[in-house]
A = this chain, B = another copy of it.
């Protein structure tokens, strides 16, 4: 396959499907109980140096409890998929968890503004960066999910985004047209937050899927955090609603409000006041240190984090906001 042009970015993960197959061959196919504490799941499955991907989009259905625990446990030198990584990236940057970064969208929190902490860390020279786009990363996960080394797309051609990527332009043997080949991305470990999951890992969620189904298929190890556990009978009653089958999953952690301070569709809206507080305190290193102590290092777990930020009353308010209850007179 003649390469017309090759991006010069670094490919942080191996796109070889045979190596991935060798790993997947060893995964347990039995439907065994995988329930554990989030702390134990992070200890067991998230290692220094691993390449990490996080489910959801921006601060929506994002496993924030897991991000906090990764920082709390002091993971370092990780690769990270910056696939519209917003508040998750902000937290991981505060812990300087990663040093290799695939960028689609990073640093920003969309309409909320930019994270001084994330920006400073990425500009520090400590992070190696390769450029992609949102769809490019989706396509890379799709290729991995399909068990092939690449899939073609028609974006990025002619741009510096391509030049700083690790993708390659080739000529299509059917049409003679140029296409870009996006190399498969097999993360070492990923975390996805869902509404409901059984003890074996059969998981379902509502609202947009973002790229989480391809991510679940592509990743070597997968931690599910779930708002609530449900009986397996409930899964078996309606298998059409299962989004992630158990055999992809390594750990199931029940973490109510696990996406807080982000949005969990149909459950609770994002805590915009608290997210603004994050953005504000990052500008002052001392203040930020104290803030992290209060919100991450000083908390035993996610329940502790929620307790210092308003607890049950706050969660009720965010639920009312999510459901637009104020409009019902």
Contacts and interface: CB of A to CB of B under 8 A. Distances in A.
A7 to B, nearest CB: 12
A183 B177 contact: no
A9 interface: no
Contact of A148 (B151, B173, B183): B151
A175 B154 contact: no
A159 interface: no
Tell which of A151, A173, A238 has the most Cβ of chain B within 10 Å: A173
Contact of A181 (B139, B174, B183, B206): B174
A21 to B, nearest CB: 10
A170 interface: yes
A148 B240 contact: no
A173 B7 CA distance: 12
Interface string A145-158: 01111111110000
Contact of A174 (B147, B150, B154, B175): B150
B175 A15 contact: yes
Interface of A: 1-3, 6, 11, 15-18, 139, 146-154, 168, 170-175, 177, 179, 181, 183, 206-207, 238, 240
Given A18-B177, A148-B154, A168-B173, 12 more contacts: A3-B173, A11-B174, A15-B174, A16-B174, A146-B151, A148-B151, A149-B172, A149-B177, A150-B172, A150-B173, A150-B174, A151-B152
